[in-house]
Amino acid sequence: MPQPKKKHSNCRQGKRRASNFTLSAVNTKKCPECGALTLPHHLCPACGAYKGRIVKKPKEKKKGKEKA
């Protein structure tokens, strides 16, 4: 089997490897109930709706300690 005549540089090797390392943007959709952005096939974190019906009540934020 033939051998390469010259060594490929580290830069050229890195370019070849990096071509498959790109990240894609996160796919989101609008909730039909409240309009917040959610992941497909997941509950809406803002209102708890899934496929047009309320499945889970959203968590209420805890209030911090009040200063006197």
* pLDDT tens per residue, range 1-56: 888 889 889 999 999 888 888 888 889 999 888 889 999 999 988 888 898 888 88
What six digits make up the tokens of 8?
Answer: 């490929």
Report the 10 Å Cβ neighbour count for 14: 11
User: Residue 54 pairs with which residues in a beta bridge?
Assistant: 49
Give the bridge partners for 42, in sequence order: none
Instruction: Provide φ and ψ at 4, rounded to 5°.
Output: -65, 145
